[in-house]
Amino acid sequence: MSPPLIEVENLEAWYGRRRILHDVDFSVNAGEIRVIMGGSGSGKSTLLRHLLGLHKPRGGNIRLLGVDIAKASPRELLDVRRKIGVSFQGGALLTSMTVGENVALPLREHTTLDEHTIRIMSRLKLEVVNLGGFQELMPSQLSGGMIKRAALARAIVMDPKLLFFDEPSAGLDPVVSAELDELILRLRDALRMTIVVVTHELDSAFKIADTITVLDEGSILMTGTVAEVRAAPNERIQDLLNRRPREIVVDADAYLRRLTEERA
Ligand SMILES: Nc1ncnc2c1ncn2[C@@H]1O[C@H](COP(=O)(O)OP(=O)(O)OP(=O)(O)O)[C@@H](O)[C@H]1O
């Protein structure tokens, strides 16, 4: 069996004096769709930023495609980044360029391919996401779901081994969101991509995940298959699955102390 594409050991992440992630351990194997699930503020985006090497971990290790990203040279980091696709929340297409030009951007930036090949490759990827023939439109002429799909085409235009998708369903209606789920499954099956999806949408997570990592208050409650997560006896997991709110206990003194400490 090939080694995991992502290996995280004992990851610890801080913002200033606040510890956000601790004891985070998990790995992602080739060909799987891993969903990282957790409530608001559980640390999903922080984890994603560390996985992508945008922040250095305060403790622990992250190996991405076999490279320890905290110790990697800028050249090694660039090499790893070229093999990774990322689709962030909001899509972030450049509004002054056509859809086709947006999708072609990574090829222009990272390769020396000629114009004709770049056009063919970006058109092919637009077809993969069901946007064949839309290359000449401007992003403002697309619906929310189409923008997400165009951003996905851009994320996969370099045929990445590993694709990160942050909150695919955010801002989409259920039907469009279900279409995007189908597309993610197709990328795994047809293009054999390994995909990490960060979401708090349970329906979507259960539909697309091979495995789920459940994050809560900065640590991992469990990693398992959909069936294992659904059947987990852990009370906090069941609260998340049944959308039961956490009991909010406010310690006003501790809150004020932290505020003044953070300002000091
Ligand atoms: N740049 C930052 N500086 C300081 N604290 C931050 C920063 N970004 C996030 N945090 C804090 O870290 C914690 C985890 O936030 P994070 O955005 O990773 O959670 P999340 O699970 O992605 O939440 P959501 O689903 O609401 O986006 C939160 O308490 C948040 O306030």
Query: What is the CATH classification number for the domain harbouring 225?
Result: 3.40.50.300
Q: Is residue 127 one of the residues assigned to a domain?
A: yes
Same domain, yes or no: 254 and 172: yes
d(C-alpha 209, C-alpha 242), whole Å: 18
Residue 158: closest CA among 124, 134, 195, 116:
124
Same domain, 170 and 79: yes
Q: Give me the pLDDT at residue 264, please.
A: 58
For the chain (264 residues), the mean pLDDT of every run of 10, in chain order, is 90 93 95 93 92 89 93 90 86 89 94 94 94 94 90 93 88 86 91 92 92 95 95 89 72 77 63
Is 44 a pocket residue for ligand 1 (Cβ < 6 Å)?
Answer: yes
What is the rounded CA–CA span in Å between residue 24 and residue 26? 7
Q: Which atom of ligand 1 is nearest to the CA of 200?
A: 25
Q: Are residues 69 and 167 in the same domain?
A: yes
Write down which residue in 124, 159, 194 finishes a domain.
159
- C-alpha 129 – ligand 1 centre gap (Å): 30
* Among candidate residues 102, 127, 159, the one where a domain is terminated: 159
Does 251 lie in the same domain as 214?
yes
Is there a domain that residue 185 lies in? yes
125 and 205 in a common domain: no
pLDDT confidence of residue 134: 94
- Residues 69, 179 within the same domain: yes
pTM: 0.88
Of the candidates 173, 193, 79, the one whose C-alpha atom is nearest the C-alpha of residue 125 is: 193
The ipTM of this complex is: 0.95
Please tell me the predicted confidence (pLDDT) of residue 262.
62
Ligand 1, atom 24, residue with closest C-alpha = 40
Q: Among 106, 128, 159, identify where a domain stops.
A: 159
In this prediction, residue 228 carries a pLDDT of 96
Residue 88 placed within a domain: no
Tally of domains in the chain: 2
- Whether residues 98 and 229 share a domain: the answer is no
Ligand 1 neighbourhood includes 41 CB (under 6 angstroms): yes
Whether residue 200 has its Cβ less than 6 Å from ligand 1:
yes
Q: Are both 130 and 237 inside the same structural domain?
A: no
CA of 41 to the centre of ligand 1 (A): 5
The answer as to whether 232 is a domain residue is yes
- The predicted pLDDT at position 225 comes to 96
* 38 and 107 both lie in a single domain: no
In a domain, 1, yes or no: no
Write down the pLDDT at residue 92. 77
132 lines ligand 1 (CB under 6 A): no
Domain that holds residue 125: 93-159
Mention every residue, 6+ apart, whose C-beta is less than 8 A from residue 181: 168, 169, 204, 207, 208
The pLDDT assigned to 177 comes to 87
Q: How far is the CA of 20 from the centre of ligand 1 (A)?
A: 8
73 and 192 in one domain?
yes
